[in-house]
Amino acid sequence: MTNVLKIFVFVICVLAFYAYVGQMVPQKITYPPTSTDFVGDMTPLELAAAGEEIMSGKGTCLTCHTIGSPGDGLRFPDLGGIGGRAGAQIAGMSAVDYLAESLYDPNAFVVEGFLPGMPAVSNPPINLSDNEILAVIAHLQSLGSQPTVTLDTELQWQSEEGSAPSAPTVAPGEPLDGPGVFTNYACSTCHAIDDATRLVGPSLYDAGSRLSKAEIYEAVMDPDATIAEGYPGAAMAAMLNASGFYQNVSTEELKSLVDYLASKTGQ
């Protein structure tokens, strides 16, 4: 019994020691980000101050980026003085547009010497609102230049909230089945579905045996991610955009489309 007691005491001591070690390092609680409230008439400077908060908080920008400590071996570009450089990064693109593109579509242009890896901050998990992104742009401008954007600044990447929804091509409320989606968005203009004929795009009659569902999903939602050999890129994304596919297709419809294509195994 004394052995058991000794072991018991030993276990308690070791556990207490480790609990103590845990107290010896800096203690920090990380709270979930809070959304920033914006009033309509903020000046660019006020907006920049709000943007600074967002960058260190909800935007988590400073997890990866540094501000004003350039050095060798950085894995992400230093943002010090970015406001002064932004206008000169891409010919013909204004500083505001450049910063906006970097935030909404970070991998469209990657600074030389760095690898792509930044997530679009408008999407989860970062999920900044359009106003919050404007504030971040204002703050970035203030690093090395003067902020100019206000909440009224319009960017081409902003979601079309508030503006009239574009007319849906089908009545809402009645999700289409897979073949219905295929017909409705005129996929058959470019893709054969019943045989192996090559049209503008590859035939899909054997899509299910060539591609997994995830790949089909990707091929629909981001056509240029992987382009079948021998076919032109960019065309499909442009067509689908033009037909309003991305705005209007519902999750269910998308799923049934993918299921439908996956069922086409060339039999």
For other proteins, the closer of residues 97 and 215 by Cβ is 215
- Confirm if 54 and 136 have CB atoms less than 8 A apart: yes
Q: How far is residue 217's CA from residue 162's CA, in Å, rounded to a whole number?
A: 29
DSSP 208-240: HHHS-HHHHHHHHHSTTSS--TTS-SSHHHHHH
For other proteins, the closer of residues 64 and 108 by Cβ is 64
Query: How many residues contact other proteins, by CB under 8 A?
Result: 63
Q: Name residues contacting other proteins, limited to 220-239 (CB under 8 A).
A: 221
Say whether residue 212 binds other proteins (CB under 8 A).
Answer: yes
Shortest distance in whole angstroms from residue 5 CB to other proteins: 9
Q: How far is residue 102's CA from residue 107's CA, in Å, rounded to a whole number?
A: 7
- Confirm if 217 and 142 have CB atoms less than 8 A apart: no
Shortest distance in whole angstroms from residue 128 CB to other proteins: 13
- Confirm if 157 and 104 have CB atoms less than 8 A apart: yes
Which of the ranges 110-118, 165-173, 198-206, 238-246 carries the binding residues for other proteins, by CB under 8 A?
Answer: 110-118
Tokens of 213: 């569902």
- Confirm if 66 and 79 have CB atoms less than 8 A apart: yes
Locus of tokens 């960019």: 234
Tell me, residue by residue from 173 to 202, as one string, x for binding to other proteins by CB under 8 A and - for no binding.
------------------------------
Tokens of 258: 């993918």
- What is the 3-state secondary structure of 130-175? HHHHHHHHHHHHHCCCCCCCCCCCCCCCCCCCCCCCCCCCCCCCCC
Tell me, residue by residue from 55 to 94, as one string, x for binding to other proteins by CB under 8 A and - for no binding.
-----x--xx--xxxx-xxxx----xx--x----------
For other proteins, the closer of residues 14 and 200 by Cβ is 14
Most distant CA pair in the chain: distance in Å? 85
Tell me, residue by residue from 120 to 149, as one string, x for binding to other proteins by CB under 8 A and - for no binding.
---xxxx---------------xxxx----
Which of the ranges 153-161, 164-172, 177-185, 207-215 carries the binding residues for other proteins, by CB under 8 A?
Answer: 207-215
Near other proteins by CB under 8 A: residue from 31, 39, 91, 171:
31
Q: Which residues bind other proteins (CB under 8 A)?
A: 3-4, 6-8, 10-12, 14-16, 18-33, 52, 60, 63-64, 67-70, 72-75, 80-81, 84, 115, 117-119, 123-126, 142-145, 212-214, 217, 221, 251, 254-255, 258
